[in-house]
């Protein structure tokens, strides 16, 4: 039985697993309540769905009647004897309970999972200016380019995160006016080395442009939930081909949930900082190339429209860009504390 570090959502694992019936006579089983008492863990049991969650010191083990997969902290899994239901009760094998005991004992209390790295990706750069708008400063007209705006904000977010989280890897895809292809950005994101129990967040920063000069405001995008992508890096683990698509699906759902949360927190953070002058266009979902190919929770922020004259003037103002950076940073901070401190039932 191998535990592997992958992400997925408990709600989806059951529907895709073959239902195995464990022969009850092989060994004496331990009832769920006795197991919870032995483990000194809190028990959540939903007889309707068959979902069982055992929780201790901020760690969760999720299992389900008839399924061999057990999820640990929504990140790792093991294949164990499927729990069986008899006379309205659920029973586990002693080996199953031993495995749970080992899981709960070997992890430090309440630091179930942490954000190990944040990759900030300022869009465009070099030969690719991104969206270009016009501003008039002291009677002089000049261009304002997306690649410059997003680099300033990205560097600011980077500095703030670096100061606040010295123990996390804070990274930029580019720190100057360099051109990077989308593939190179994805490659950078996917090649960041993480410790066990660490997650990486991918934050792409852009500015908008529209034919309608009245279009204005900021928006945060996350991946559309029904988009299918390959999130498991097959080379990194000993994954059985049968289980790969299932894990992939579950990880994807978990990433989507987390991406939506990050998007929400960043949107709220921006609202607090710039909501008085810029319209909050809300959360959007889309399958952006960079976002859908990064094997991690990821969002894309559009700071505003350079095609709107009032907004272009704001985006040309460094103090305004600092507010944007503060909004993004604050949103990320809220997500990090949520992610690292409440990976409990509500984290679903």
Taking the least distance from each CB to Zn ion, the nearer of 58 and 123 is 123
**Of residues 253-312, those binding Zn ion (CB under 5 A):** none
The footprint of Zn ion on this chain (CB under 5 A) covers a number of residues equal to 3
The closest alpha carbon to 133, from 316, 324, 312, belongs to 312
Cα 276–Cα 280–Cα 284 angle in degrees, nearest 5: 165
HSE-up (13 A, CA, CB side) for residue 232: 24
Q: Interface with Zn ion by CB under 5 A: which range of 105-113, 118-126, 136-144, 189-197?
A: 118-126
Comparing every residue's Cβ against Zn ion, the nearest one is: 206
Residue 264 beta carbon to Zn ion: minimum distance, rounded to whole angstroms? 21
Residue 124 beta carbon to Zn ion: minimum distance, rounded to whole angstroms? 6
Residue 45 beta carbon to Zn ion: minimum distance, rounded to whole angstroms? 48
* 122 belongs to the binding site for Zn ion (CB under 5 A): no
Taking the least distance from each CB to Zn ion, the nearer of 272 and 287 is 287
Residue 31 beta carbon to Zn ion: minimum distance, rounded to whole angstroms? 57
Taking the least distance from each CB to Zn ion, the nearer of 247 and 270 is 270
* 130 belongs to the binding site for Zn ion (CB under 5 A): yes
**Of residues 161-220, those binding Zn ion (CB under 5 A):** 206
Residue 324 beta carbon to Zn ion: minimum distance, rounded to whole angstroms? 14
The closest alpha carbon to 149, from 132, 167, 163, 127, belongs to 132
Taking the least distance from each CB to Zn ion, the nearer of 128 and 317 is 128
Q: Interface with Zn ion by CB under 5 A: which range of 33-41, 68-76, 130-138, 279-287?
A: 130-138
* 123 belongs to the binding site for Zn ion (CB under 5 A): yes
Give whole-number Cα distances, 265 to 15, 66, 108, in Å. Answer: 31, 37, 28
Taking the least distance from each CB to Zn ion, the nearer of 171 and 303 is 303
Taking the least distance from each CB to Zn ion, the nearer of 150 and 201 is 150
Give whole-number Cα distances, 81 to 19, 73, 98, 157, in Å. Answer: 11, 19, 12, 47
* Phi and psi, residue 211, nearest 5°: -65, -35
Cα–Cα distance between 170 and 187 in angstroms, integer?
16
Long-range Cβ pairs for the range 144-148 (8 Å, 24+)? 144/306, 144/312, 144/315, 144/316, 145/306, 146/206, 146/207, 146/209, 146/306, 147/122, 147/123, 147/177, 148/177
Neighbours of 274 (CB within 10 A): 22
Residue 278 beta carbon to Zn ion: minimum distance, rounded to whole angstroms? 17
Assigned token pair, 5:
């570090």
Taking the least distance from each CB to Zn ion, the nearer of 170 and 290 is 290
Cα 33–Cα 41–Cα 22 angle in degrees, nearest 5: 50
Contact flags string 75-114 toward Zn ion, x per CB under 5 A:
----------------------------------------
The residues that touch Zn ion, with contacts defined as CB under 5 A, are 123, 130, 206
């Amino acid at each position: 039985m191998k535990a592997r570090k992958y992400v997925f959502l408990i709600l989806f694992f059951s529907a895709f697993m073959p239902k195995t019936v464990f022969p009850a006579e092989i060994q004496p089983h331990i009832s769920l309540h006795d197991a919870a008492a032995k483990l000194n863990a809190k028990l959540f049991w939903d007889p309707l769905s068959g979902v069982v969650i055992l929780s201790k010191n901020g760690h969760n083990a999720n299992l389900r009647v008839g399924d061999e997969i057990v999820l640990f902290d929504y990140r790792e899994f093991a294949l164990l004897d499927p729990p069986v239901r008899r006379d309205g009760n659920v029973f586990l094998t002693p080996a199953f309970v031993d495995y749970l005991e080992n899981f709960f004992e070997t992890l430090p209390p309440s630091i179930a999972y942490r954000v190990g790295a944040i990759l900030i990706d300022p869009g465009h750069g070099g030969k690719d200016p991104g969206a270009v708008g016009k501003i008039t400063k002291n009677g002089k007209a000049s261009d304002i380019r997306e690649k410059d705006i997003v680099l300033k904000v990205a560097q600011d977010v980077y500095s703030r995160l670096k100061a606040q989280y010295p123990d996390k890897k804070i990274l930029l895809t580019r720190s100057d006016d360099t051109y990077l292809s989308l593939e190179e950005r994805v490659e950078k994101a996917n090649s960041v080395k993480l410790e066990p129990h660490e997650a990486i967040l991918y934050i792409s920063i852009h500015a908008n442009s529209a034919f309608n000069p009245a279009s204005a405001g900021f928006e945060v995008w996350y991946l559309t939930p029904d988009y299918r992508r390959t999130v498991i890096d097959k080379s990194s683990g000993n994954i059985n081909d049968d289980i790969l698509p299932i894990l992939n699906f579950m990880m994807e759902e978990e990433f989507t949930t987390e991406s939506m949360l990050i998007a929400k927190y960043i949107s709220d953070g921006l609202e607090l900082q710039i909501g008085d002058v810029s319209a909050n266009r809300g959360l959007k979902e889309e399958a952006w190339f960079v976002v859908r190919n990064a094997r991690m929770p990821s969002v894309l922020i559009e700071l505003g429209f350079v095609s709107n004259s009032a907004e272009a003037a704001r985006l040309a103002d460094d103090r305004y860009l600092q507010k944007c950076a503060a909004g993004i940073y604050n949103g990320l901070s809220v997500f990090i504390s949520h992610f690292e401190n409440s990976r409990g039932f509500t984290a679903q």
